[in-house]
C-alpha cells in the first residue's frame, strides 16, 4: 500500500463517520480537526473502523498520529504493509 492509498482509506472512513462534510479539498498537511467538524468521539470512530475493516490497532498513546492525513499515512502505511505481508 502506498501512502496515497493509505490516505484514501482514512478518507473513506471519514466519509462514513462525518457524512455531512465536503472531503473534496482536505489538505493532507493540515490537522483534520482544523478543517473538518470532528470531535474526540469521531476519532474513536476512526480507530474503531481501522480495527473493524483492516484489523489495525491504534493504541491510545498513538492517537496523536491520526491528526492529519499526512501523519495518518506516515503512521498507518507501515501497519498496512505489515498486515499484507502476514497474508
Lookup: cell for 35: 478543517
Q: Which is nearer to another protein, 43 or 75 (CB)?
A: 43
The Cα-based distances of 36 to 41, 63, 72, 74 in angstroms read 14, 17, 15, 20
Residues in 23-82 at the binding interface with another protein, rule: CB under 8 A: 37, 41, 44-45, 48, 51-52
Query: Which segment (1-9, 13-21, 58-66, 78-86) binds another protein by CB under 8 A?
Result: 13-21
Under the binding rule (CB under 8 A), the answer on residue 22 touching another protein is no
Amino acid at each position: 500500500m502506498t501512502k496515497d492509498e493509505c490516505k484514501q482509506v482514512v478518507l473513506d472512513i471519514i466519509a462514513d463517520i462525518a457524512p455531512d462534510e465536503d472531503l473534496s479539498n482536505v489538505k493532507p498537511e493540515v490537522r483534520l480537526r482544523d478543517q473538518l467538524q470532528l470531535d474526540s468521539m469521531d476519532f474513536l470512530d476512526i480507530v474503531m473502523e481501522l480495527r473493524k475493516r483492516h484489523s489495525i490497532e491504534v493504541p491510545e498513546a498513538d492517537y496523536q498520529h491520526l491528526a492529519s492525513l499526512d501523519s495518518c499515512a506516515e503512521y498507518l502505511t507501515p501497519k498496512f504493509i505489515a498486515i499484507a505481508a502476514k497474508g
